[in-house]
Amino acid sequence: LMIVLEGTVRINSFSGEQIAEGGPGCIIGEISLLDDKPRSATVISVGKSTIAVIPSESLWKLMKADAELARIMLLNLGQVLCMRLRSANLQLDTVVGKDFAARR
């Protein structure tokens, strides 16, 4: 799991298309942390950035030792994922809506 402390990062799909941009407080790697699968995007620093890296093994060990911390972490990660899913749905609606309107 990584957290942007300073600077800006750009999140790109594997095809190179920009998906999002994030600044301080942006969380990176939450999907892989939760499903233990390879990353689903590429993150590139836009200029100078400072990133905190938290190895998944260390984070899971900490959460196993502290149930309240685990609850808070998982709730926050769930909220981040929900926010990103809603944003992706809006982007998809925009693309599909334009495509649908063009076919009419």
pLDDT in tens, 20-56: 899 999 999 999 999 999 998 999 999 999 999 999 9
3-state secondary structure at position 85: helix
What proportions of the chain, in percent to the nearest 5, are helix, strand and coil? 50, 30, 20
Of the chain, the end-to-end C-alpha distance in Å amounts to 45
Instruction: Read off the pLDDT band of 91 (50, 70, 90).
Output: confident
Of residues 104 and 47, the one with the higher pLDDT is 47
Q: What is the pLDDT of residues 63-87, one digit of tens each?
A: 999 999 999 999 999 999 999 899 8
**Residues contacting 52, CB < 8 A, separation 6+:** 2, 3, 5
Stretch (H or E) spanning 20: strand 18-22
| Token reading at 6 | 């300073």
The pTM of the full predicted model, rounded to 2 decimals, is: 0.79
Predicted pLDDT of residue 60: 95
